Amino acid sequence: MRAARLMSTLVLTAHGSRDPRSGANARAVAERLRGMRPGLDVRLAFLELSAPNFADVLSGLPDKRDAVVTPLLLASAYHARRDIPGQIARAGAYGIRQADVLGEDDRLLAVLRDRLGEVGVSPLDDEVGVMVVAIGSSNTDANARTARVAARLSAGTRWAGTAMAFATRPEASVEDTAARLRARGARRLVIAPWFLAPGLITDGVSTYARDNGIAMAPPLGAHRLVAETVLDRFDEALADHAAA
């Protein structure tokens, strides 16, 4: 769209992690964005634990009115609702725009189906139970939105069941969710991680999967459809600003 071509800077804002695989994935998404939209100034920033730091990237922008902070985040929880706006305010970058999170976009569900196919899951397999595992949040509304992924993922399949589990929350734990799927008739379980990149939390889920004989698909990663969703959020923020 025309407004997107006039805007020169997309600040791709990831959470950050001590695990280098997480940062590598964010950098790969940034490179995809540059390839998909030449001329767009894509600047990668991390909220914590990784460099470059978000506040430093903001301070280095030549014109903050010419940029959109675009979260590389799945859920609209603490970091999107409070951390990013708070850091923007502390940096004095009041004119900067913030795009929405990636959310439960259909394209990301398509990527997740592809990842399941990589570990041999067929939509016609009526013996498999698919456990979608996300990080989880203290925000119950965010968890409720994320939980929709499991039901939407199973649409058009013959799977014995799908269910959502949260890796860091006591409710809907991975162990309890696995038991529920087996009780519903699933003879074989597969984990579909609702994560953008591997890291310490996904390693913990992977250890559980290995110890219990459960296959686990890769995270969403730097798939082209992930980058496409990021660009859409960027464009939507521009369109909202133009309409205001």
Domain total for the chain? 2
Say whether both 39 and 140 belong to one domain. Answer: no
User: pLDDT digit string (tens) for 83-135?
Assistant: 999 999 998 887 899 999 999 999 999 999 999 999 999 999 999 999 999 99
Say whether both 129 and 34 belong to one domain. Answer: no
Tell me the residue range of the domain where 237 lies: 9-103+223-243
Check: CB of residue 145 under 8 Å from CB of residue 75.
yes
Q: In terms of Cα–Cα distance, which of 67, 2, 4 is closest to 232?
A: 4
C-beta neighbour count of 120 within 10 angstroms: 11
Q: Is residue 116 part of a domain?
A: yes
Residue-level pLDDT at 94: 77
Cα 68 to Cα 140: distance, rounded to the nearest angstrom: 27
Q: pTM for this structure? A: 0.93
User: pLDDT digit string (tens) for 20-75?
Assistant: 999 999 999 999 999 999 999 999 999 999 999 999 999 999 888 889 999 999 99
In this structure, what CATH number is given to the domain that contains residue 209? 3.40.50.1400
3-class SS at 203?
Answer: helix
Q: Is residue 15 part of a domain?
A: yes
Residue 7 has pLDDT above 90, yes or no: no
Say whether both 119 and 210 belong to one domain. Answer: yes
Q: Is residue 180 part of a domain?
A: yes
Q: Is residue 4 part of a domain?
A: no
